[in-house]
Amino acid sequence: MTRAQQTISIGLLVTSLYLALYLQLIPLPELILTEIIPVLPFWALVSFGSYLLFKLGFGVFTFNDVPKAHAELMNEIDLARADLRTKGVEVD
């Protein structure tokens, strides 16, 4: 099973479970049905966005802990500056 098939399968499973809860096919207490189930997609979206922002921030925070990547990036910046100077663009 490829990664795309696995992701689609999990997505369909979660969607069908949510629809079963939303359409009240699975009996739950009234409070859960009216207060929690309708906002689950929004909560999942906000949680996923928060997770991605955390990963991005942590990656930026720990960037200097990866000296090889830092050196490679600095080398690419120097090459870009040299290329721009040959084309007559002033950089610095």
pLDDT surpassing 80 at residue 66: no
Give all strands (DSSP E) within the chain, no chain letters.
none
The answer to pTM > 0.75 is no
Residue 18 contacts residue 41 (beta carbons within 8 Å): yes
Confidence band for 79, pLDDT divided at 50, 70 and 90? very high
- pLDDT recorded at residue 49: 97
Q: Which two tokens stand for residue 8?
A: 């689609």
